[in-house]
């Protein structure tokens, strides 16, 4: 029987073990998509205890605890930190097969050197030992301990990025860069959209009175981000894009309708989104940025809990929407105009793996290795099987050696062992191909692939 999470965890062959230990394990991390808060980095935030670090905003763990029957009192409610931690330790052993089980043990080992199993019996000892270590750690310590060379935050176009400037002037070894996320500008039917337009107008210096001036304001903010190190944009695509683009006149009419206080119908909202993405995609191309699409989330599905706790609190799921026709049409329109930027397609629905891993081949032009990328396993796909399936789909339909690798997509400074988890799975899959006689036992060639996927490809692709 294989020991639980020993040094060869997930490494099923001799080749995998050698690739991981000799090549992958000690490579720096480029985390090109996260939800870390720039304020917590600039302010060198410390954590009062492991409950705050693990449970203070982690909707992955909240969702697990609710499903295991834990009352909201011990999740987001008034229970003490120790009570919340104890409840997490009590129910985690039930979560066999869930990546949180592996992640949590990896975090204990990598961050705190604690080898104890997480359960009720060990809760007090873990609490005391982890808190003793935390007393000497801040957000910088987490980044530097994990060898994070570059971390990208997620920032609204209207953000002033002043804390990014403070970080850049500090002694932090990790480079922390902004990433442009214009979701508030994309979600035209959201409450507060007119107020957001006013805010964007003020920070951009563009008087926004039309679709065209809205785009001018967004373009000015891209330039602002670019001057401050931004090279990546991100967009949540939660509705199907239309295959047919709206005309300039139609887009202006839709924008005027919304600023006039009326909501758009579903088709109009989708056409507005398509028009915005087509415009801003061309802007990214001119700046040599990468455009990332996160496709297929159904967000904030529980109205009662949305009213109680707000968004992003663990009430999201996978959408089965059809995206292929509209997405291809958008990419094709940009490509036809010679304005398609480097693009990454992340999908939340695993049924879309083959759709997107073949779609990327439509728009490669030889200018950049893997110019259009099938993004890493994301959110509900970020588990052992999900990562392996993503690697297999990329390998089957594209050139796996140009893959730019993993992201944390996390709000937690404790999440960097997820890169270790991913690296082990990459080495596992390569080793199994060699073991099965499907690839030669050429350590130099295999090492090149591993270094590329785990570090070098991202550094070269994003030009960070």
CA-wise closest residue to 341 among 197, 156, 151, 180? 180
Do residues 127 and 33 lie in contact, with contact meaning Cβ atoms separated by under 8 Å? no
Give the pLDDT of residue 436. 98
| 210 backbone φψ class: left, alpha, beta (φ>0; ψ -120 to 50) | beta
Give the pLDDT of residue 323. 85
Q: How far is CA 254 from CA 247, 267, 327, 328, in A?
A: 11, 11, 21, 23
DSSP 8-state assignment for residue 180: B
Do residues 213 and 220 lie in contact, with contact meaning Cβ atoms separated by under 8 Å? no
Domains of the chain: 14-46+138-462 (3.20.20.140), 47-137 (1.10.2020.10)
Give the pLDDT of residue 244. 95
Neighbours of 442 (CB within 10 A): 11
Give the pLDDT of residue 1. 86
List of residues 6+ apart from 336 with CB closer than 8 A: none
DSSP code string of 254-318:
HHHHHHTTPPP-HHHHHHHHHHHHHHHHHHHHHHT-EEEEEE-EE----HHHHHHH-SSSS--EE
What's the pTM?
A: 0.96
Q: How far is CA 337 from CA 169, 233, 277, 340, 367, in A?
A: 39, 20, 14, 8, 16
Sign of the alpha-carbon torsion through 257, 258, 263, 266: positive
Give the pLDDT of residue 236. 97
Give the pLDDT of residue 459. 96
List of residues 6+ apart from 398 with CB closer than 8 A: 357, 360, 361, 370, 374
pLDDT one digit per residue (tens) for the chain, 464 residues: 899 999 999 999 999 999 999 999 999 999 999 999 999 999 999 999 999 999 999 999 999 999 999 999 999 999 999 999 999 999 999 999 999 999 999 999 999 999 999 999 999 999 999 999 999 999 999 999 999 999 999 999 999 999 999 999 999 999 999 999 999 999 999 999 999 999 999 999 999 999 999 999 999 999 999 999 999 999 999 999 999 999 999 999 999 999 999 999 999 999 999 999 999 999 999 999 999 999 999 999 999 999 999 999 999 999 999 889 999 999 999 999 999 999 999 999 999 999 999 999 999 999 999 999 999 999 999 999 999 999 999 999 999 999 999 999 999 999 999 999 999 999 999 999 999 999 999 999 999 999 999 999 999 999 98
Determine how β-strand 290-295 pairs with β-strand 342-347.
parallel
DSSP 8-state assignment for residue 197: H
Do residues 261 and 200 lie in contact, with contact meaning Cβ atoms separated by under 8 Å? no
Length of the chain measured in residues = 464
Q: Which residues pair with 236 in a beta bridge?
A: 294
Distance CA 303, CA 191 (A): 15
List of residues 6+ apart from 89 with CB closer than 8 A: 118, 119, 120, 122, 123, 126
Give the pLDDT of residue 322. 83
Sign of the alpha-carbon torsion through 29, 32, 33, 34: positive
What's the alpha-carbon Rg for the chain, to the nearest Å? 22
Do residues 448 and 401 lie in contact, with contact meaning Cβ atoms separated by under 8 Å? yes
Sign of the alpha-carbon torsion through 199, 203, 205, 210: negative
């Amino acid at each position: 029987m294989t020991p639980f999470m020993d040094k060869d965890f997930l490494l099923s062959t001799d080749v995998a073990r050698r690739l991981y230990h000799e090549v992958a394990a000690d490579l720096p991390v480029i985390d090109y998509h996260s939800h870390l808060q720039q304020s917590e980095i600039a302010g060198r935030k410390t954590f009062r205890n492991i409950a705050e670090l693990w449970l203070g905003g982690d909707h992955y763990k909240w969702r697990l605890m609710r499903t295991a029957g834990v009352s909201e009192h011990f999740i987001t409610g008034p229970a003490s930190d120790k009570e919340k931690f104890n409840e997490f330790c009590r129910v985690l052993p039930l979560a066999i097969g869930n990546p949180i089980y592996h992640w949590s043990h990896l975090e204990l080992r990598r961050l705190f050197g604690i080898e104890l199993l997480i359960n009720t019996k060990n809760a007090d000892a873990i609490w005391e030992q982890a808190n003793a270590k935390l007393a000497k750690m801040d957000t910088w310590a987490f980044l530097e301990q994990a060898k994070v060379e570059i971390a990208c935050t997620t920032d609204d176009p209207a953000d002033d990025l002043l804390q990014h400037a403070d970080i850049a002037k500090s002694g932090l070894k990790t480079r922390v860069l902004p990433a442009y996320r214009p979701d508030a500008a994309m979600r035209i039917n959201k409450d507060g959209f007119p107020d957001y337009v006013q805010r964007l107008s003020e920070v951009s210096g563009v008087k926004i009175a039309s679709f065209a001036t809205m785009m001018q304001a967004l373009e000015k903010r891209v330039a602002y981000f670019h001057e401050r190190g931004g090279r990546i944009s991100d967009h949540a695509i939660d509705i199907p894009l239309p295959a047919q683009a709206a005309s300039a006149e139609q887009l202006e009419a839709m924008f005027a309708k919304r600023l006039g206080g009326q909501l758009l119908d579903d088709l109009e909202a989708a056409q507005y989104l398509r028009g915005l993405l087509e415009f801003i995609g061309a802007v990214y191309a001119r700046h040599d940025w990468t455009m990332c699409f996160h496709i297929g989330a159904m967000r904030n599905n529980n109205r009662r809990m949305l009213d109680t706790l707000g968004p992003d609190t663990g009430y999201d799921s996978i959408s089965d929407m059809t995206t292929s026709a509209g997405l291809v049409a958008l990419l094709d329109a940009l490509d036809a105009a010679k304005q398609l930027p480097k693009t990454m397609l992340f999908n939340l629905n695993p049924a879309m793996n083959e759709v997107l891993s073949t779609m990327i081949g439509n728009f490669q032009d030889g200018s950049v290795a893997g110019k259009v990328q099938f993004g890493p396993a994301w959110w509900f796909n970020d588990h052992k099987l999900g990562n392996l399936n993503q690697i297999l789909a990329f390998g089957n339909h594209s050139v796996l050696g140009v893959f730019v690798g993993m992201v944390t997509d996390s709000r937690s400074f404790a999440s960097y062992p997820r890169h270790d988890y991913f690296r082990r799975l990459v080495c596992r899959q390569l080793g199994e191909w060699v073991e099965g006689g499907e690839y030669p036992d050429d350590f130099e060639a295999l090492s090149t692939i591993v270094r590329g996927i785990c570090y070098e490809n991202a550094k070269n692709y994003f030009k960070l």
